[in-house]
Structure 1
Amino acid sequence: MKSEWIILLRLLALQWLIVLCVSKDFDFYYFVQQWPGSYCNTKHSCCYPKSGKPAEDFGIHGLWPNYKDGSYPSNCDRTSSFEESEISDMTTKLHTDWPSLACPSSDGLRFLEHEWLKHGTCSESILNQHNYFQAALDLKRKSNLLRVLKNAGITPSDSKSYSLGNIKEAVTEGLGYAPYIECNVDASGNHQLYQVYSCVDTSASNFIECPVLPHGRRCGSEIKFPSFSGMHEEL
């Protein structure tokens, strides 16, 4: 009887190990960048980080492991913890490139912790915590979306609208691969450029063609690209 219990426990342990390994397997990343002017230009508005108002530039939303069938793993290692000391050498850069605009105003560490625990732990076998955040910073620098759009004559404006096709074409030319553009709606009901999804290989180093498109909010044919420089936060 005792030996049967030992065999059963070993089988359960092996089954758990298999589930754990499968949950950490994935096919590619979505690298998601967010336009702060569109985040703030809604009925809900926004709050600036305690470090101050971010620059008028795209900010990182996340680096998310995904499967080719459109699903994704999450919270893959519930024993993992977010260690601020692991990213102490890049804290200033993260405040600049990966800010939180959610209310109430914060130092952004809770947002980074959420991203690591929900998404980063699912690539922990490839990227440790430090390398995960460094990879995202490197991808932002490599993509340089704002410059890509400006080179195509697409600049933030409170009066102009831009063709969704022209925006996609500009990003495709700049990165070499087609993006997915997600829009939100401003207080006046206009669609506006909200997030840009790019696909990245499992090393988190190279942009690739998206195996599957995300389920983000779609855009109209003409969209706004609102200015952020003169915008004020919700107090």
Structure 2
Amino acid sequence: MKSSFSILVLVSTIQLMTVLCASGDFDFFYFVQQWPGSYCDTKRSCCYPSSGKPAADFGIHGLWPNYKDGSYPSNCDPDSLFEASSISDLKSQMQSEWPTLACPSSDGIHFWTHEWEKHGTCSESMLDQHGYFETALKLKKEIGLLKLLTNAGIKPDGRFYSIKSIEEAIKEATGFTPGMDCNVDGSRHSQLYQIYMCVDSTGSNLIECPILPGRRCSSTIEFPKF
């Protein structure tokens, strides 16, 4: 009896240690949104998804586990494959808030599969597949990037804005400093492409970024129309 109890305690301890180790596999998330006008306004161009042209709003790129040293885990569980049925109740929201712009035109399944299998599987200790995508959708709604920028007089009108003004508008509205990423249009103008916000490892709370991603931005950048 004593031996059986000892084995049970040992097994429970190992299971607890496994959970604790798994929960410490990353430090925070980058929640990344991209501006469709900048994705499309490049030499590569874009293709609208089969569901139609997305709204002129930031779209989700991904929710990416990261380490404080700037590195990140990826493809953590090759056996945890994306299952479209697991997010069937979120599909209409996904098509609206997490649209694909890659060519050829598609329904988004390939994009979402890539995001889950590369990034989502590294967050399974905190979020299952449905929880991963649902969390990203909630974060997008909570942050409301386009509205807060528009409220600060920064609009997707093809004009140029200082990157400092964009950062300050986001920080004033959210309380946290964003990371910025730019790309270039056909005329080699630097344009607002992606905005990174940092989230704790539970996916629940915005936090100040332990490390900001390197940006490819000029001091003044274009906010293109879409």
Residue 66 of structure 2 contacts residue 73 of structure 2 at CA under 8 Å; is this kept in 1?
A: yes
**SS of match in other structure, 2:132:** helix
CA distance in structure 2 between the partners assigned to 1:23 and 1:173 by the alignment: 31
| Contact 2:180/2:213 (<8 A) preserved | no
CA distance in structure 1 between the partners assigned to 2:187 and 2:70 by the alignment: 32
Aligned position for 1:117 = 117
The within-5 A match list for 1:45-194 is 45-158=45-158, 160-194=159-193
Secondary structure of the corresponding residue to residue 85 of structure 2: helix
Structure 2 counterpart SS, 1:30? strand
CA distance in 2: counterparts of 1:129 and 1:176, whole angstroms: 29
Partner of 2:31: 31
Per-residue deviation, residues 97-130 of structure 1 (Å, max 9, x unmatched): 0001000000000100110000000011110000
Partner of 1:232: none
- Find runs of 4+ consecutive structure 1 residues off by over 4 angstroms: 21-24
Can you give the 5+ residue segments of structure 1 that lack an aligned partner in the other structure?
Answer: 1-13, 229-235
Query: Residue 3 of structure 2 corresponds to which residue in structure 1?
Result: none
1:221 aligns with 2:196: no
Secondary structure in 1 aligned to 2:213?
Answer: coil
Q: Using structure 1 for the length normalisation, give the TM-score.
A: 0.86
Q: CA deviation at 1:44?
A: 0.8
Please give the alpha-carbon distance, in whole angstroms, between the structure 2 residues aligned to 1:133 and 1:40: 24
Cα drift, residue 24 of structure 1? 7.0
Q: Check whether the contact 1:24–1:76 (CA below 8 A) recurs between aligned residues.
A: no
Distance between the aligned counterparts of 1:181 and 1:91, measured in 2?
28
Aligned pairs for 1:197-212 (under 5 A) are 197-212=196-211
* One-letter identity of the residue aligned with 1:226: P
Q: Which amino acid aligns with 2:221?
A: I
CA–CA separation in structure 2 for the residues paired with 1:23 and 1:190: 42
Deviations, residues 150-199 of structure 1 (Å, cap 9, x unaligned) = 010001112x2101100000011111100011000000010000000000
C-alpha contact (below 8 Å) 1:148/1:174 kept by paired residues: yes
Please say if residues 29 and 200 of structure 1, whose CA atoms lie closer than 8 Å, have aligned partners that are also in contact: yes
2: CA distance between counterparts of 1:182 and 1:126? 27
Query: Does the Cα contact within 8 Å between 1:24 and 1:122 map onto a contact in 2?
Result: no
Q: Which one-letter code corresponds to 1:201 in the other structure?
A: D
3-state SS of 2:74 partner: coil
Distance in 1 (alpha carbons) for counterparts of 2:170 and 2:114: 28
SS in 2 for 1:157: coil
Answer yes or no: is the 8 Å Cα contact 2:22–2:125 preserved in 1: no
Question: In the TM superposition, what is the alpha-carbon distance from 1:22 to its structure 2 partner?
Answer: 6.0
Using the TM superposition, give the Cα deviation of residue 64 of structure 1 relative to its aligned residue in structure 2, in angstroms: 0.2
RMSD: 1.6
State the match for 1:4 in structure 2. Answer: none
Could you tell me how far apart the structure 2 residues matched to 1:75 and 1:183 are?
A: 26
Gap change, CA 1:222 and 1:191, over 3 Å in 2: same
CA distance in 2, matches of 1:98, 1:190: 26
Paired residues in the alignment total: 209
Instruction: Tell me the distance in 2 between the aligned counterparts of 1:37 and 1:127.
Output: 31
Distance 1:224 1:143 in 2: 21
